[in-house]
Amino acid sequence: MNYRHGFHAGNFADVLKHAVLARVLLHLRSKERPFRVIDTHAGRGSYDLHNEEALRTGEWRYGIGRLTDAEREPLQRELVDFLAPYLEAVSAWRTQHGAFSYPGSPAIVRHFLRPHDRLLAVELEERAFLKLGRLFPPGSRVKALRLDGYEAWKAFIPPKERRGLVIVDPPYEAPDEFGRVANGLEAAVKKWATGMTLLWYPVKDRVLVENFVARSKGHLPVERLRIELDTGAAQDEPGLSACGLIIVNPPWTLARELEGALPLLARRLSRGSHPRASCQRL
């Protein structure tokens, strides 16, 4: 595996994933009972947007940079309201770690944890895991664990709290990655039918994506949302231009929140003349 998220941190895909993640975490916090989050592919946990990797691609400039650039047109009110929890987490992280630090999913989750909530951040790659462990030492309500993410997904659900979320965000470098994700999702729903799952996927091969979604439709007797955002970038432009999320057992308010905000977000993150966004129940 040669995927390095440092090249892509803070891009449009991170913005979509982390903005939705923040809304889901707010829902979990709305009830007094504790919850646990399991991040199966946690990465290093934090990224420097002024290091060589990030500057080489500049992808963050078309993602988080579009939201925080004071010289750009102000965000529309509905988009401000939707993004507020996410941008609050980013701002808090930067206050502590520097103006060009970008929080990965574990850091976003950590921002929303209450004293009795917990995060299990799983990462297999050794260098990323060492950085993750230093970022979240014992006692931080976060346990960093070096393990294959799919094994952790299977082993640690349902959590003892019986409430929570699994974040599944693999690199999709392996040819069978979509198949592994589909198998993991089917097994997870059977084992923990009430659990929430946030699953991210890239849209590079539309046929592969539609086959994956069709498979999940036929085997998952639970409520699901499918969210996609296409920046409208030209086909010959480098890098990813579209991605999606599948949310299993989504908060009942999420679809309504996305209805107005998602098209506005697509236009804000546009890299072409025809950005598109959609949210549908599966």
Buried b / exposed e over 180-202, threshold 16 CB at 10 Å, is bbbebbeebbeebeebbbbbbbb
Residue at token pair 């980013």: 90
Mark whether 169 is an active-site residue: yes
Residues 58, 54: Cα–Cα separation, whole Å: 6
How do beta strands 36-39 and 164-168 pair? parallel
Choice among 169, 205, 230, 236 that is catalytic: 169
- E strand map for 70-182: 101-103, 118-122, 142-145, 164-168
**Residues 6+ away with beta carbon under 8 Å from 76:** 264
Residues 12/14/17/23 CA torsion (nearest 10 deg) = -100
Which active-site residues does the annotation give?
169
